[in-house]
């Protein structure tokens, strides 16, 4: 009987251990299954992270300091010699009337494509020389879009990166500017090789021109028309992107515009230079209706002269030899 009792106790102990292992395995699987989206949200998947800002009318966004005068809708924001105020004469027209003014840039949001048709802002040499704040890589729903902006999850599994229209590096002079550059309304679906390649080259080249021209006005965006297909979540996938750089503060008034196919490219940026008039015809947007007198506007928007702008061949070589493959 003693032997039988010892065998019974041994078997009971084995069963107890097996039960505990089974329960632990079930809990672990549950945590992995139900916690995966949480982990993706807060640790990212190589494309940053998301913080959801839920705001209601009259509520205070906890991410924004309401005592900071830069966050007041009626205040002016000064950065160096530039003043951002309610007038913003550098704003393009909007094809749908939904213009949103953030602290350091403005955009026109098109709900049908869940992205902005343009993002516009001034950028100066003085701003770029300020010490850079850390890049956040946290993506935010835009609380100012009345119909709600696209979200971090609208891009998940789409095969496209979240491409900045106003680059984070252009907004690195200020913590609030950096944070607002990660609003999802400032994103557009871009192929990784396009985002890391020719789009990156154009962004960096633009900052070079700012250093040489003191102050410029920039407008960037996708071309949104009926040929644009959408992701399963309803976000438009543009076939083309544009960028305009206007310099009317220097002694030589000039502008340059680009219309880029949404694809990896080995061609130099100069091949994609177009007139602003051509872009306006392509998009239906009047890009500078209030910034210049009619004669100057007509002259600048009708010409394209790449000789007035110095291009970096070294950066072009980097793009075709390395960036296109990252």
Residues 6+ apart with CB under 8 A from 230: 113, 236, 237
* Alpha-carbon gap, residue 300 to 218, rounded angstroms: 15
272 three-state secondary structure: helix
Q: Measure CA of the first residue to CA of the last residue in the chain; give whole Å.
A: 73
Task: Enter the tokens of residue 66.
Answer: 């309401």
The one catalytic residue among 102, 164, 212, 290: 164
User: Where does the chain have alpha helices with state H?
Assistant: 2-43, 125-128, 175-180, 192-196, 198-213, 276-283, 294-302, 313-321
* Alpha-carbon gap, residue 163 to 192, rounded angstroms: 9
270 three-state secondary structure: helix
Strands of 212-263 (E only): list them: 215-222, 229-230, 236-237, 240-247, 254-261
Half-sphere exposure of 251 (CA within 13 A, CB side): 1
Instruction: Considering only the C-alpha atoms of the chain, give the largest distance between any 2 of them, rounded to a whole number of Å.
Output: 111
Q: Strand 273-274 vs strand 49-51: parallel, antiparallel, or unpaired?
A: unpaired
Strand partners, 272: none
* Alpha-carbon gap, residue 123 to 170, rounded angstroms: 8
Is 212 among the catalytic positions? no
62 three-state secondary structure: coil
Catalytic residues: 164
């Amino acid at each position: 009987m003693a032997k039988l009792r010892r065998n019974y106790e041994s078997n009971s102990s084995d069963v107890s251990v097996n039960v505990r292992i089974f329960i632990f395995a079930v809990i672990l699987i549950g945590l992995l299954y139900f916690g995966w989206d949480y982990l993706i949200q807060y640790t990212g998947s190589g494309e940053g992270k998301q913080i959801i800002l839920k705001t209601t009318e009259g509520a205070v966004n906890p991410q924004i300091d309401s005592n900071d005068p830069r966050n007041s809708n009626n205040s002016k924001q000064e950065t160096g010699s530039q003043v951002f105020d309610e007038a913003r004469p550098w704003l393009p027209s909007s094809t749908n009337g939904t213009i949103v003014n953030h602290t350091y840039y403005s955009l026109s949001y098109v709900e049908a494509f869940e992205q902005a048709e343009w993002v516009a802002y001034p950028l100066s040499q003085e701003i770029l020389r300020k010490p850079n704040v850390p890049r956040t890589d946290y993506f935010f729903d835009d609380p100012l879009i009345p119909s709600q902006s696209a979200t971090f999850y609208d891009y998940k599994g789409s095969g496209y990166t979240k491409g900045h229209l106003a680059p984070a590096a252009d907004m690195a002079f200020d913590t609030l500017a950096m944070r607002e550059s990660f609003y999802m309304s400032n994103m557009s679906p871009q192929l990784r090789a396009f985002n890391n390649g020719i789009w990156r080259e154009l962004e960096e080249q633009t900052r070079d021109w700012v250093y040489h021209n003191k102050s410029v006005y920039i407008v960037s965006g996708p071309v949104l028309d009926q040929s644009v297909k959408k992701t399963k979540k309803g976000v438009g996938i543009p076939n083309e992107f544009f960028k305009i750089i206007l310099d009317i503060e220097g002694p030589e008034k000039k502008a340059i515009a680009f219309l880029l196919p949404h694809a990896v490219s080995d061609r130099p940026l100069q091949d994609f230079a177009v007139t602003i008039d051509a872009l306006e015809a392509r998009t239906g947007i009047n890009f500078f209706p209030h910034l210049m007198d009619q004669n100057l506007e007509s002259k600048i928007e009708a010409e394209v002269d790449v000789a007035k702008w110095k291009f970096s061949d070294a950066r072009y070589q980097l793009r075709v030899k390395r960036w296109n493959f990252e």
